[in-house]
């Protein structure tokens, strides 16, 4: 995976599941570096597929879950890339034990 996020490469090199767990823990604890990383990933150019896309979906879902006040920052990226937005909402819904939502 190409690491685009500088100092956060160590976090980005984790397995996807571990990346999400660590990011969630850091966001829960108000880690400003993790918040900045998640915001940058959520608003950067989103890959069509692969690990970079998975990480973008997970980072955006965690940001939405832990920092709902960032909705205004996240929403434009989700409107611009509807499949990405749907994937983020599905991931967020699954996290909260809902298996579907109306599109």
In a domain, 100, yes or no: no
**Does residue 1 form part of some domain?**
no
Convert the pLDDT of each residue in 8-65 to its tens digit: 556 656 677 788 888 899 899 998 888 998 999 999 888 888 888 888 999 999 999 9
Show the domain range for 58: 15-95
Position 1 scores a pLDDT of 38
Look-up: residue for tokens 């190409």? 2
Residue 32 lies in a domain: yes
Q: Is residue 10 assigned to a domain?
A: no
Rounded Cα distance, 64 and 75, in Å = 10
45 Ramachandran zone, left/alpha/beta (phi>0; psi -120 to 50): beta
Instruction: Tally the domains of the chain.
Output: 1
Residue 5 located in a structural domain: no
Contact present, 5 and 12 (Cβ < 8 Å): yes
Which residue in this structure is represented by tokens 């915001």?
39
Q: What pTM was estimated for this model as a whole? A: 0.78
Two structure tokens written together for 53: 């896309």
């Amino acid at each position: 995976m190409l690491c685009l996020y500088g100092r956060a490469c160590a976090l980005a090199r984790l397995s996807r599941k571990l990346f999400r767990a660590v990011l969630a823990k850091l966001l829960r604890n108000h880690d400003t570096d993790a918040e900045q990383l998640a915001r940058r990933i959520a608003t950067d150019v989103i890959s069509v597929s692969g690990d970079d896309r998975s990480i973008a979906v997970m980072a955006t879902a965690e940001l939405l879950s832990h920092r709902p006040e960032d909705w205004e920052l996240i929403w434009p990226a989700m409107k611009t890339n509807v499949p990405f937005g749907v994937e983020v909402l599905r991931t967020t819904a699954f996290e909260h034990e809902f298996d579907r939502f109306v599109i």
